[in-house]
Structures are given as structure tokens and as C-alpha cells.
Amino acid sequence: MVTEKDWIKDLIIYQIYPRSFYDSNGDGIGDLPGILSKLDHLTELGVNALWLSPVYRSPNDDNGYDISGYQEIMEEFGTMEDWDRLRDGCKERGIRIIMDLVVNHSSDEHPWFIASKSSRDDPKSDYYIWRDPVDGHEPNNWASCFGGSAWEFVPERGQYYFHYFSKKQPDLNWACPELREEILGMMNWWVDKGVDGFRVDAISYLDKPQDFPDSRLPPRPDGYSFPDCLAGRPGTHAYIREMNRRVFAPRGVLTVGEVSAPTVEELTNYVRTEREEFDMAIPFVPPVVEIDTWSPEKLKSDVWESYSAMPRDGWWARFFSNHDKPRQVSLYGDDGEYWEVSAKLLAIFLHTLPGTPFVYQGEEIGMTNVYLPSIEDYDDPSTRDQYNQYILSGMEPEAALSRARLESRDNARTPMQWDGSENGGFTTGRPWLGVNPNTAEINLESQRSDPHSVYQCYRKLIALRKESGVLSRGDLKFLETGCGELIGLIRSYEGETLLIFHNFSRQEHSIPAALLEGAGEVVISSYDREGGYIGPDLRPYESVVFRI
């Protein structure tokens, strides 16, 4: 039976990247006691759910997205008792806890992989994907997401294993029933421990074509091609439905799938209620693609497409940021002259859409991209891969660095800026990744006491959403403003109506008079510091919400 989880519509989800949130013991690495000590920040902001990026045992090849113990805690982050305390702290504050679930792959240091690679006769031999060499080479031409071939040779078995991400992240073999039982059992174990939901990582790739045909896509500069028949196979949807049947549905667990879905139809395949898969989906779009193709027009049409594809029978995750993306104010707004108003505009845009809003740590104070001096200062394996691909394709090192910098996931991973001190109040030691030097100007401490800060704008928006059904339940209609950079929309629900305009540019744009009919009280504006909305000519990055 399909039961609608109405409570997901009232969530505002805050994502924590534990390594970079708050360091409690001065080793330069964020940790669980650090998060626990900062839960009041979440309460003050008003969020009611916490998505924790992976905290499991891991050798940290990909910062915890390479798990070597699914039922253990990473030593640098603390202990299972710390996790229990964090769970209790969240429960006391009415904050639901969502764990990241990384089950497309594990770490190569997981005991399952160590057993599997030891011999073809090991009982765990089939837990991973092994293939014989073809003419002394890799089984096919597929590229790994982090550079080079997606296959790695292991002399003990005389075979290659498949890894879609780094070679320290071997893909688990979902075709193996014993492996599936282990994973489903582990998921139920976490639900028993009190987790309310899972954000399920890289979930579109579970099922592999058993014959692994060569990809027909053009090769990357290193000679390998991204697979053209891996994401969203019917077998993958069947595995997700099995998870739903055996874990999510019976336990009422909230789920957010991170998916690779090039079309809206593919995206909604994961979340339409009748499919019995996930509650919400986070589509993964490579930053390099977004940097080259994003525009306000595209934003509007993407929102409309996903909304109109399932106005009644599904639900949307709304996010601009996460740990895999450049900072939103740098990517879609303006991190220079219009930093504050554009950070507020993006917040107002997102929090007034239908769907569940996600806030990524630091977004609530308008944190920006960082520009680290050399490629060696970057920790993210995908930044280093992008840089290498640019060099291989003939770019000059300086140009390659400035491009890789824009795309880098480390933009989102620099430590949280708690105050204006050198290390941003994140650690008393040496931070694992450089703190953005602009912590002197952009930090929580100064914004808490400033009624017109980006932070206070987020607090207002979150409070508004909790008060009024129109934001969490209302219909959406876009208005024809005659200008691509000026987005107008209407939200309505049970007699309540909001009229909303956003000027996504550095130019003034005028709201057509006919669209302002009935506009009453201004509910929120990105120009509150300047005294608020003054007229139909919207200033650069001005955003205004009227009640009708």
C-alpha cells in the first residue's frame, strides 16, 4: 500500500559535511562532538532535519564516500557513543536525522573487498564485479569519474574489478543475493538505531550490463569514455524497489536518492509515488556542465518541467548547494558587489518553491567559492582529475587551474565560518583544508547580531514556511514577465496567495504593471537593508514577495 508521508512536506533539511563543520579537539578535522556542540545553531536557524554526509569508518580517499565499516564510526569523527549522543540531541530538538547511504561501492579497505580479492574461491568472491582481461587489457573502454580507466587489475585473481569512482571505491555487485542481504540488513540496523531517513548516494548505477559493452561516447583526453548505458537501468529500479519494500516502506523511512537523470522523465521515475522508490531525488549535474549552461531562463524552465511532470503524485528536493557543487552565490549570484542581495535572492527563490528546501552548511551566511593558490592545495580527487584532463587537452597550467578552481568541490568543503578569526572559529589547530580568507567579513557571529544579514533572511524564510501552508503546500504558476532575467511566479493555497518576483541580473528590470495588480503587503525582500521594495523597477538581484 502506498502511504503518503505528509510530514516530509514540512521539512527544512540542513546538510552537514562533518569534516568541515566544527572541530571539537583541535586536530583540524570536524567531528561528531563538534556537531553536537553546535546543534543550537540548527535550532536557531529553524531547520527540522539534518542530513549527515558519511561518518562511517573510512580511509578517506573520497572523504567518507569510501566506506570500510558500515556499522562503525570514522575514528577522526569520534565513536558510536558520540553518534548516539548526536541522535539524542537531534531528537530532543525535533530534528530528524538522515544518514548518507553509500551502497553503490565500498572502500577497497572494507573486509568484504579484502576477502573478495584474495581468491576466486573466497565465499565473498562475488561481492564485487570481477572480469577477465580482454586481449591483455581492461574489459572495456569505460572511464572512471575521477580519471583513468574504471577497471583495476588484481594479480591475486588475475582479474580486473570495476570502480566507477576512484580505484579505492570498488563497485558492489548487486546481482549477488548475499551482498544484497548484507546491505538491507545493515540499513535496518541503522533504522533500529533511530535514523529517520537516508540520502542514498550514486544510486543510478547499481545494476550493470553484464556484458559491459564499449561506450560509444567520445573519449576524454586520457583516452577513456564515460559509460553510455549505466545510469537508470530497469534492474537498478528493481533493486531500489526491493529496498523500499524491505526497509523504507515498513519502517516509514524518509528517502532522498542522489540520481543521474538527464531527462525529467528519468528523474521522476525515481520519485513518482506509484513507483514505490524514493520520496525525493537530487539530480547530479556535473559542475562543469552547470557553469557552461546555467541561466535564469534555464532555471525557470527546469523548475517548471519538474513541477508539471508530477504536480500531485510526487515531491521535490529543492537545493542550490551541496558538498559536490561550487558555492551557490558564486555560481548563480554575484560574490562581489552584489554578494548580499544576490545571496538573499537565491534563498528567497528556493524557499518559496514547492518542495522540501535543503540548506547546505555555510549557505545560510552566504559563503562563497575559495581560490586556493595552487592545484596541490586542492584535496578533492575530481578537481585534480579535471585539472589533468585540461592539461592533457593542451591547456596552459594557469588556465587549467583557474577553470578547475571554478568547478572544484572544495569550494563547498572549506570549513564553516563561525567567526572572523583566522581559522573562522572552526578549529584551534590547523584546518585540514584552508579556511576561506573572507571569514573576516563573512561569518556567523557578525550576521547573528545584524538584523539585515543573509543569515536573518534564512531565519525569516524558514519561519514563514512553517507558518503558512502556501509555501509548503501551495500550487505554482509562472508569470510571463517578458524578460528572461526577471522571474515572476504565484503560489496559492486555500485562499492564501503570494506574488513573487526575482531580478536575476545586474541590470534593473521593471515589473509590468499588469502583473502587480492586487499586490499588497511585502512579506520579504532582498533589499531589506536598503529599506525594502520601492517600486516596479527592480534593482540588481532584487527579490520581493507580496501577499495578495
Output the CA–CA distances (angstroms, integers) from residue 277 to 80, 186, 212, 312, 481, in the order listed.
29, 18, 26, 16, 37
Close Cβ partners of 143 (under 8 Å, ≥ 6 residues apart): 149, 150, 215, 219, 220, 222, 224, 225, 226, 227
Does residue number 29 form part of the binding site for Ca ion (CB under 5 A)?
yes
User: Is residue 192 annotated as a catalytic residue, yes or no?
Assistant: no
Does residue number 108 form part of the binding site for ligand NOJ (CB under 6 A)?
no
Out of 23, 62, 152, 340, the only residue in the binding site for ligand NOJ (CB under 6 A) is 62
Pick between residue 23 and residue 207 the one whose CB is nearest to Ca ion. 23
CA 404 to chain centre: 19
Cell 519494500 locates to: 245
Residue from 196, 258, 363, 542 carrying the catalytic annotation:
258
Does residue number 65 form part of the binding site for ligand NOJ (CB under 6 A)?
yes
Contact (Cβ atoms closer than 8 angstroms) between residue 159 and residue 98:
no
Close Cβ partners of 380 (under 8 Å, ≥ 6 residues apart): 408, 409, 410, 413
Which of ligand NOJ, Ca ion, none lies near 196, with the C-beta cut-off 5 to 8 A by kind? none
User: C-beta of 323: minimal distance to ligand NOJ in Å?
Assistant: 6
Question: b vs e for 231-254, b when ≥16 Cβ sit within 10 Å of the residue's Cβ?
Answer: bbbeebbebbeebbebbbbeeebb
Pick between residue 80 and residue 291 the one whose CB is nearest to Ca ion. 80
C-alpha cell of residue 370: 575559495
Pick between residue 165 and residue 248 the one whose CB is nearest to ligand NOJ. 165
CA torsion 484-485-486-491 (nearest 10°) is 80
Does residue number 410 form part of the binding site for ligand NOJ (CB under 6 A)?
no
C-alpha cell of residue 172: 558492489
Does residue number 74 form part of the binding site for ligand NOJ (CB under 6 A)?
no
Which of Ca ion, ligand NOJ, none lies near 165, with the C-beta cut-off 5 to 8 A by kind? ligand NOJ
Contact (Cβ atoms closer than 8 angstroms) between residue 124 and residue 230:
no
User: C-beta of 233: minimal distance to ligand NOJ in Å?
Assistant: 18
User: Is residue 258 annotated as a catalytic residue, yes or no?
Assistant: yes
User: C-beta of 16: minimal distance to Ca ion in Å?
Assistant: 14
Pick between residue 345 and residue 404 the one whose CB is nearest to ligand NOJ. 404
Which SS3 state, helix, strand or coil, does residue 524 take? strand
- State whether the Cα torsion 413-419-420-422 is positive or negative: negative
User: C-beta of 56: minimal distance to Ca ion in Å?
Assistant: 16
Which of Ca ion, ligand NOJ, none lies near 23, with the C-beta cut-off 5 to 8 A by kind? Ca ion
C-alpha cell of residue 288: 562543469
Does residue number 98 form part of the binding site for ligand NOJ (CB under 6 A)?
no
Of residues 247-266, which lie at the interface with ligand NOJ (CB under 6 A)?
258
Pick between residue 74 and residue 464 the one whose CB is nearest to Ca ion. 74
Helix axes 234-243, 177-192, angle to 10 degrees: 40
Does residue number 165 form part of the binding site for ligand NOJ (CB under 6 A)?
yes
Close Cβ partners of 453 (under 8 Å, ≥ 6 residues apart): 340, 365, 446, 447
* Stretch in the footprint of Ca ion (CB under 5 A) among 27-35, 180-188, 448-456, 475-483: 27-35
CA angle (85, 90, 93) in 5-degree steps: 130
Which of Ca ion, ligand NOJ, none lies near 511, with the C-beta cut-off 5 to 8 A by kind? none
Close Cβ partners of 529 (under 8 Å, ≥ 6 residues apart): 340, 452
- In 225-295, which residue ranges form alpha helices assigned H by DSSP? 234-243, 249-251, 264-268, 287-293
**Distance in Å from the first CA to the final CA of the chain:** 39
Does residue number 324 form part of the binding site for ligand NOJ (CB under 6 A)?
yes
CA 254 to chain centre: 16
Which of ligand NOJ, Ca ion, none lies near 102, with the C-beta cut-off 5 to 8 A by kind? ligand NOJ
Pick between residue 425 and residue 540 the one whose CB is nearest to Ca ion. 425
Which of Ca ion, ligand NOJ, none lies near 258, with the C-beta cut-off 5 to 8 A by kind? ligand NOJ
How many chain residues interact with ligand NOJ (CB under 6 A)?
A: 9
Which SS3 state, helix, strand or coil, does residue 318 take? strand
User: C-beta of 33: minimal distance to ligand NOJ in Å?
Assistant: 24
In a 13 Å sphere around the CA of 500, the CA atoms on its Cβ side amount to: 26
CB atoms within 10 A of CB 281: 27
C-alpha cell of residue 429: 589547530
Residue from 66, 201, 364, 407 carrying the catalytic annotation:
201
User: C-beta of 199: minimal distance to ligand NOJ in Å?
Assistant: 9
Does residue number 380 form part of the binding site for ligand NOJ (CB under 6 A)?
no
Out of 171, 201, 207, 528, the only residue in the binding site for ligand NOJ (CB under 6 A) is 201
Out of 13, 16, 23, 95, the only residue in the binding site for Ca ion (CB under 5 A) is 23
Contact (Cβ atoms closer than 8 angstroms) between residue 512 and residue 519:
no
Out of 32, 102, 230, 498, the only residue in the binding site for ligand NOJ (CB under 6 A) is 102
Pick between residue 23 and residue 258 the one whose CB is nearest to Ca ion. 23
User: C-beta of 367: minimal distance to Ca ion in Å?
Assistant: 20
User: C-beta of 360: minimal distance to ligand NOJ in Å?
Assistant: 11
Percent of residues in the chain assigned helix, strand, coil, to nearest 5: 35, 20, 45
Does residue number 360 form part of the binding site for ligand NOJ (CB under 6 A)?
no
Does residue number 27 form part of the binding site for Ca ion (CB under 5 A)?
yes
Pick between residue 102 and residue 462 the one whose CB is nearest to ligand NOJ. 102
What are the residues binding Ca ion (CB under 5 A)? 23, 25, 27, 29, 31
Question: Which residues does the annotation mark as catalytic?
Answer: 201, 258
Footprint of ligand NOJ (CB under 6 A): 62, 65, 102, 165, 201-202, 258, 323-324
